[in-house]
Structure 1
Amino acid sequence: MIRFSPILAGLGLATILAGAAPAYAWGPIGHRVSAEIAQRKLDGRTSAEIEKILRGETLVELATLPDEMRSDSNSFWQKTSPPYHYVTLPEGRDASQLDHPPQGDAVTALELYTQVLRDSSADIDQKKLALAFVVHIVADLHMPLHVGNGTDRGGNDFKVLWFGELQNLHWVWDEGLILHQQLSFTEYADRLDHDTSPDEMIAWWGHNPLDWIDESAELRGKIYPVTSEEQGTGTEESPVILSWDYAYRATPQMERRLAQSAVRTAAYLEWTFAHD
């Protein structure tokens, strides 16, 4: 497993207040699925550029690093990097109207780390950290609740009973829907890769994060449980009951976003390492 101390000097990374809300997306299986499919779709030149950075490791191993390292006591992981996993887009706005906070967000971090990957003077540790965040952030922005509406911490405060277990809506989309399939990340990657048509591959190929944010915001408005069967108000005292019906309806949406994140990760990396 890749482990290293982030080299912060010269990167222009801002510090933030310690009270940032935690935010994870897709969980380890989802991030590995996205990275595994993306790695398969890279062209030869981009694969070689990445191999120079990883030196025998894989994108799959790197993809979960920004979440795994958040248990590290280093102030970068505790205070600086948490906002790099999400953006806030209130209802009624589109991604062109994003207000980037002083501490940064997923979009500003993606721009920063893309610059590091293109910087010939950056050392291998800086590039490895940058690659980890680029792969991770592209996937994060495809999880609808990582484009938060600014009211409930991306669904973390929306409480649900998921097959009888008290959870929150954010966790359901992070991990619950994925774990419900009972597949390994390679099995899941094989299935989603196989099911992605050439037309979808062409249509999804792109490197503009604002497009992904708008897509997530649109889907975000459709995934909050609202039917009469889903009792409750979303509070801890009155959680919404979710089980087979919600899983049936939400899983295809989740899987589409995972597959899109994989294609866009490959597209973004090819764009990042493109040479004139």
Structure 2
Amino acid sequence: MFFFISKVFFFSILINISEWGQTGHRVVGLVAENHLTKKAKDKINFLLDGNSLANVSTYADEIKSDKKYNYISKWHYVNIPLNKKFHEIAREKDGDIIYAINKCIEVLKSPKYNKKEKSFHLKLLVHFIGDLHQPMHLGRKEDRGGNDIKLFWFGSITNLHRIWDTQIIESHNMSYTELASDLPIFTPNQIKVEVNKSINNWVEETRIYTRQIYLESSPNRKLGYAYRYQNLPIVKSQLYKAGIRLASILNKIFE
């Protein structure tokens, strides 16, 4: 279904869409910053020329329009059938989000890469670890991770992927700093458990939510306050886990 809209309204929508994805990624970056060692902070500060993890967290999305970065377009996600586990699927020859995270870690650890290359891959790593904790980035190929599942969000047409990428978070009406302060607080023992899990564990843990979301998302369903109330705690927990896991990886790289 297509709608005619004025140019002014059209461009205001584009601006809002570009803003929506920032909040969640910046929360992940800020949480990670709060769990870095001093040594890691100093090395990250050098690589990013004083920029924060929160500020660079959306870089991987910002470069999508540049054709020279087309090769990383598939690095934001991995498609997994609901009845399979990650290790059971055939991997994309051009890479996927797991490949991307491991590649970034490899570059950051290796002495053979220069500052520019390490800075680039650090920015990507911050973003991709955030993406990995968004359940629809591990969704089905046939509906493009929920992008092709039309739904209504507070009366406006949207899709399942966008709801989980941005709209649950934005409807909470908090800045990224406010939201980062409103996340669940884990005990030191809980944090230790989370950061010691493997990346494959993160995938399968997130996919528990992916399956649940698909079961509850028949096309054209009207979603609003009840759906947000039910799923906002999941979003908050995933953002926090992404942040502390990112910090753990960076602390190990820069120890």
TM-score, L = length of structure 1: 0.81
- What is aligned with 2:151? 160
Within 5 Å, which residues of 2 pair with 1:205-244? 205-206=195-196, 208-224=198-214, 226=216, 233-234=218-219, 239-244=220-225
**Among residues 63, 66, 72, which one is paired with 1:81 in the alignment?**
72
1:220-260 Cα offsets, whole Å, 9 max, x none, are: 1112363xxx8xx41xxxx1110111111111111111111
**Among residues 30, 35, 41, which one is paired with 1:47 in the alignment?**
41
- What is aligned with 1:18? none
- Distance in 2 between the 1:155 and 1:65 partners? 23
Aligned length: 237
- What is aligned with 1:259? 240
CA distance 1:136–1:41, change in 2 (3 Å): same
Gaps of 5+ in 1: 1-23
CA distance 1:263–1:197, change in 2 (3 Å): same
1:203 aligns with 2:193: yes
1:114 aligns with 2:108: no
- What is aligned with 1:132? 123
What is the Cα-based RMSD across aligned positions, in Å? 1.8
Give the secondary structure class of the aligned counterpart of 1:71: coil
Alignment-mate amino acid for residue 44 of structure 1? K
- Distance in 1 between the 2:134 and 2:174 partners? 19
- Cα offset for 1:261? 0.6
- Distance in 2 between the 1:163 and 1:215 partners? 29
Gaps of 5+ in 2: 1-17
Residue pair 1:138, 1:209 contacting (<8 A) in 2 also: no
- Cα offset for 1:197? 3.4
- Distance in 1 between the 2:234 and 2:55 partners? 25
Alignment-mate amino acid for residue 60 of structure 1? A
Alignment-mate amino acid for residue 123 of structure 1? N
- Cα offset for 1:136? 0.9
Residue pair 1:207, 1:271 contacting (<8 A) in 2 also: no
Greater share of helix residues, 1 or 2? 2
Residue pair 1:32, 1:63 contacting (<8 A) in 2 also: yes
TM-score, L = length of structure 2: 0.87
Give the secondary structure class of the aligned counterpart of 1:161: strand
- Distance in 1 between the 2:197 and 2:43 partners? 18
